[in-house]
Amino acid sequence: MTTTSKDPNREPKLLLGPGPSNVHPDVLEAMAQPMIGHLDPDFLKILDRVQVRLRALFGTTNPMTLPLSTTGSGGMEACFGNLLEPDDEVVVGVNGVFGNRMCDVANRIGARVTRVDAEWGRVLDDDAMSDAIRRVRPKAVAFVHAETSTGVHQPVEAISRAAHEIGAFVILDCVTSLAGLPVRLDDWGVDAAYSGTQKCIGCSPGLSPASFSPRAVERAGNRTIPCTSWYLDINLLAGYFGGERVYHHTAPISAIFGLDAGLRRIEQEGMAARVARHRDAAEALIAGLAEFGFEPLVEPAHRLPMLSSVRLPASVKKLGEAAVRRKLLADHAIEVGGGLGALAGEIWRIGLMGENARRENVARLLDALRKELG
């Protein structure tokens, strides 16, 4: 008798929150392939291919570009943990939850953190960042490309230039941007970047694609004390993800099968078409939501295409925003995200990420809202 763990009562849900997003059947099918060993030449061929495709996606030739066996937060810890030591100075741009998380991670390493805050919903101010960089002369400068807590798209180049003028490393969070917006690490001078597979890449959560410039790898090799995380130390990870393929930890085989399939879909679609698809879906969403009185939190020039944050109209607040979201999920099988921190109860965060960035999904959400809000 064959058995299946599939729950027949579980309807597929449309995931229009801040991630995870829905996963294409090709990815699910790839993840269901029979297990093979992580040192099997057949698996290593796939890993090679994944690394090549990740370099293309990140816009880099960095040899140290790899799928870390962790989520986006682990990627953040890897970037900070390999580049910073106790008492190193770091300047962090903070305009949302994930900039805050960066400060927390850096503090735990024992680094000296200088925060440059901007109002949530606005971009970081280039001049404020440059002033802090020139004053503090930090070892690293860190900020978030796509702030998922607010929907802000942060320009990278001016801050990166200011960092390089004083020889600092640039750390960039690309968790939500990668595969939905152009990312060009080499052109921008980014030294360490990390992402997550569950957003615009359109795979399951659990991997953090990351990339380290040769200068960052050299820094990791010349530390006075070892990276405090054995698991995320890129000097050790290089043994497996570099040329030699010697055991470090057991690679998450099925997740990498899935990532391979997800990256193949991205390659087939082409980044220009994918970026345009994300933008088109976001425009349709913002236009459609106006009917109900939702207003974008972020000014047009700095809105993310894959994550729209919208202020709630009185009709939604009256019904209780969390209650409306619960109804969308229970009665329409659609998930949308609420606000975080000071924006809790004030905004929704609607994701159109990866496979989900399509007008038909926007139409489904608007239909459901019409039923719920009249």
Q: Give least dist CB 78 to ligand PLP, A.
A: 12
Candidates 157-165, 170-178, 221-229, 256-264; binding stretch for ligand PLP (CB under 6 A): 170-178
Q: Is residue 98 a contact residue for ligand PLP (CB under 6 A)? A: yes
Residue closer to ligand PLP (CB basis): 148 or 368: 148
Smallest gap from residue 37 Cβ to ligand PLP (A): 27
Residues from 174 through 203 that contact ligand PLP (CB under 6 A): 175-176, 196
Pattern of binders to ligand PLP over 54-73, x per CB under 6 A?
-----------------xxx
| Measured distance CA(215)–CA(211) in Å, rounded | 12
For ligand PLP, give the closer residue by CB, 177 or 213. Answer: 177
For ligand PLP, the binding residues in 133-162 under the rule CB under 6 A are 144, 148
Distance CA 164, CA 160 (A): 6
Helix residue ranges, H only, the chain = 25-31, 41-58, 72-83, 97-109, 126-136, 157-165, 185-188, 214-221, 234-241, 253-269, 271-290, 314-319, 321-332, 359-373
- Spatial CB neighbours of 75, under 8 Å, sequence gap ≥ 6: 68, 175, 194, 195, 196, 208, 209, 210
Contacts to ligand PLP from residues 282-341, by CB under 6 A: none
Binding-residue total with ligand PLP (CB under 6 A)? 14
| Residue whose CB is less far from ligand PLP, 149 or 361 | 149
Q: What are the phi and psi torsion angles at 291 (to 5°)?
A: -50, -30
- Contact flag: residue 213 with ligand PLP (CB under 6 A): no
Is 99 or 288 the residue whose CB approaches ligand PLP more closely?
99
Q: Is 80 in the site for ligand PLP (CB under 6 A)?
A: no
Q: Which one of the spans 3-11, 81-89, 171-179, 259-267 is the region binding ligand PLP (CB under 6 A)?
A: 171-179
Nearest to 57 by CA among 209, 250, 202: 209
Of 180, 122, 175, nearest to 148 (Cα)?
Answer: 175
Closest CA to 42 of 208, 26, 34: 34
**How near is the Cβ of 115 to ligand PLP at its closest, in Å?**
16
Buried residues in 81-101 as b, exposed as e (16+ CB within 10 A): bbbbbeebbbbbbbbbbbbbb
Min dist. Cβ of residue 365 to ligand PLP (A): 20
From the list 184, 170, 162, 183, the residue with the least C-alpha distance to 219 is 170
Residue 175 has phi, psi (to 5 degrees) of -60, -45
Q: What is the DSSP string of 94-140?
A: ESSHHHHHHHHHHHHHT-EEEEEE--TTSPPPHHHHHHHHHHH--SE
Q: 196 or 305, CB closer to ligand PLP?
A: 196
- Between 58 and 98, name the residue whose CB sits nearer to ligand PLP: 98
Residues between 33 and 52 with contacts to ligand PLP, criterion CB under 6 A? none
User: Of residues 17, 19, 151, 351, which one binds ligand PLP by CB under 6 A?
Assistant: 19
Binding-site ranges for ligand PLP (CB under 6 A): 18-19, 71-73, 76, 98, 144, 148, 173, 175-176, 196, 205
